[in-house]
Amino acid sequence: MVDQPGTGSGRDFVTIFKTGSVDRSEYPELTDSLLEGRTQLTAETSYLMKFGDESHRGLTFFDVATLHDVPAYPLPQTALDSLPAHVRAELEQNGATQMVASYDPENHQFENIDLAWDDQDFLERVTELIAGDLSLHEAVDWVVVEEAERYSVDQWADIRDVTEDAVRSNIYAAREKLLAESE
């Protein structure tokens, strides 16, 4: 389990994502679960933040958002305002962002912010995933298509001269292994 944000030493791996409303009549169990986990009655922004550890670094925004053992906190307006312009732009454009940063919970401020990809070399990341039991193809396909979002599945399959199913299969296998590691 991850510590309360800002209580550890150093920087945290932070995922921020846009939220939407949930219709109680369509999703009663999800609504109850969300209400049970609330730490505030209202949110100043339409974003939630999750503080993870390095093992979450290989997960997509969606994967992190669905982790039940990692609490989500409403993103205060002051925390949103403390993000550099390029991080806010990515958040607005994509609806989510992942970064490594220091968080001051008393002042609701982020400091020492690096986008998740700004502070780690591509080859370093692939090597890290291979050391974590992914095959070379799983690691490269995962990093290029899912994490870096440099190419779509069909574009990357053409570049690698393999089928789209082969790329999808590698991405699926990588996702399963990464999710298993985070549990």
Annotated domain spans of the chain: 12-115, 122-182
Summarize pLDDT for 88-127 with one digit per residue, the tens: 877 887 788 888 889 999 999 999 887 776 545 677 788 8
Radius of gyration from C-alpha coordinates of the chain: 17
At residue 93, what is the residue type? Answer: Q
Q: Give residues with Cβ within 8 angstroms of 64, minimum separation 6.
A: 15, 17, 50, 52, 56, 70, 98
Identify the pLDDT of residue 92: 84
Q: Please give the mean pLDDT across all residues of the chain.
A: 79
As a whole number of angstroms, the distance between CA 140 and CA 145 comes to 8
Order of strands across the sheet with 47-52?
72-74, 47-52, 12-18, 96-104, 109-115
Give residue 2's pLDDT.
43
**Predicted TM-score of the model (pTM):** 0.56
Give per-residue pLDDT as tens, 146-162: 887 767 888 888 888 89
Task: Tell me which CATH code domain 122-182 carries.
Answer: 1.10.10
Contact 125, 115 (CB under 8 A): no
Instruction: List Cα–Cα distances, 115 to 42, 83, 111, 153, in angstroms.
Output: 27, 11, 12, 23
